[in-house]
């Protein structure tokens, strides 16, 4: 390539990456040669040599979860505009798997990491610390962040919704969440719920606090179980994406009025919740913003070396949307 333009490789490199440092004439000569032979710089070589890479590693618990896609989009759009690339992998909610993936990403020399989970093996934390690259956790606000955090607080959100139900006068509030093993988001939601119950002066009742899997069917099943086993229940707070929709369908099927027989609240603002009838009260979480902010803060660290951002925690606001179901 350098030969084709009749210049040194160094000049080619500069013409392509620091056009300002090269004369008009050289720049044109190089660019013409680039077009003629269809030259494609080898990014691997560049990264190796400069010890800088333009890839960011992202680890989500499960790719086929619509919850994350908004965040990924936010990430992706910002990163793209800075010429960064996204490597994605899924950990399957398993910290060991996550550690393994972190290792792989580090050996690919990603220049930043985004982790949805906030539960990690000690070895994973150690590897990250040792690598020195910036990391953002963004599924929750952990007690002991690895580095930076961009998220909303699952605890606060769950607390807020439970308080909302309490203030509306519901006294027997059931709670359904996703399995909480290796899922601190679920754990925090549960704690937020309990904290709100205390605040409201309501007694917790283990019979109406359930954990289940994802999906409409699971939501439906939870609704049926709760109402039948504890008839005096007057509200159900589904703290896991599509559970509420399943629960609502179950009510429609059984002829239970919502909110007449039982009120229903959800945790994430899926488009659907606004369109069903009754529309469902829920929390609007800043999924896209999380991705966007995560990308920005990472890029600041990587490109501008903004060390003052190290360890910063961005608690993005959520919003409670009151609708017909409560």
Contact footprint for DNA (CB under 7 A): 1, 7-14, 16-17, 20-23, 25-26, 39-42, 45-46, 48-52
* Partner whose binding site includes residue 11, from a copy of itself, DNA, none (CB under 5 to 8 Å by kind): DNA
User: Min. distance of Cβ 302 from DNA in angstroms?
Assistant: 14
Bond preceding residue 219 cis, omega within 30 of 0: no
**Per CB under 8 A, 38 contacts a copy of itself:** yes
Residue closer to DNA (CB basis): 49 or 229: 49
| Number of residues in contact with a copy of itself under rule CB under 8 A | 55
**Per CB under 8 A, 80 contacts a copy of itself:** yes
**Per CB under 8 A, 230 contacts a copy of itself:** no
**Per CB under 8 A, 285 contacts a copy of itself:** no
Site pattern 181..200 for a copy of itself (x: CB under 8 A): --------------------
**Per CB under 8 A, 146 contacts a copy of itself:** no
Site pattern 51..70 for a copy of itself (x: CB under 8 A): --x-x------xxxxx--xx
Residue closer to DNA (CB basis): 38 or 206: 38
Residues lying near a copy of itself in the complex (CB under 8 A) are found at 38, 40-45, 47-48, 53, 55, 62-66, 69-70, 72-73, 76, 80, 83, 85-90, 103-109, 126-127, 130-131, 215-217, 220, 242, 245-246, 249, 252-253, 271-272, 275-277
């Amino acid at each position: 390539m350098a030969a084709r333009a009749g210049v040194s490789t160094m000049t080619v490199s500069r013409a392509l990456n620091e056009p300002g440092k090269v004369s008009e004439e050289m720049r044109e000569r190089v660019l013409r040669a680039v077009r003629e032979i269809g030259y494609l710089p080898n990014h691997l070589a560049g990264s190796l040599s400069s010890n800088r890479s333009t890839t960011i590693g992202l680890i989500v618990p499960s790719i086929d979860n619509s919850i994350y896609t908004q965040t990924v989009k936010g990430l992706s759009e910002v990163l793209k505009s800075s010429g960064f690339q996204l490597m994605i992998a899924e950990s399957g909610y398993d910290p060991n798997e996550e550690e393994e993936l972190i290792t792989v990403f580090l050996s690919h020399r990603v220049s930043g990491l985004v982790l949805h989970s906030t539960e990690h093996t000690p070895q994973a934390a150690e590897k990250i610390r040792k690598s020195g690259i910036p990391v953002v956790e963004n599924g929750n606000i952990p007690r002991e962040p690895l580095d930076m955090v961009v998220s909303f607080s699952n605890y606060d959100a769950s607390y807020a919704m439970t308080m909302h139900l309490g203030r509306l006068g519901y006294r027997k509030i059931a709670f359904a969440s996703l399995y909480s093993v290796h899922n601190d988001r679920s754990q925090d939601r549960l704690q937020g719920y309990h904290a709100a119950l205390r605040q409201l002066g309501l007694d917790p009742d283990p019979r109406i606090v359930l954990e289940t899997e994802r999906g409409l069917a699971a939501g439906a099943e939870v609704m049926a179980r709760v109402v039948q086993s504890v008839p005096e229940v007057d509200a159900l707070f589904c703290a896991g994406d599509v559970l509420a929709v399943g629960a609502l369908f179950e009510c429609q099927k059984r002829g239970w009025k919502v909110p007449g027989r039982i009120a229903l609240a959800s945790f994430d603002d899926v488009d659907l919740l606004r369109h069903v009838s009754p529309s469902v009260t829920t929390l609007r979480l800043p999924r896209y913003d999380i991705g966007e902010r995560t990308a920005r803060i990472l890029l600041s660290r990587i490109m501008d070396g903004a060390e003052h951002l190290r360890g910063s925690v961005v608690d993005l606001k959520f919003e409670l949307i009151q609708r017909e179901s409560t």
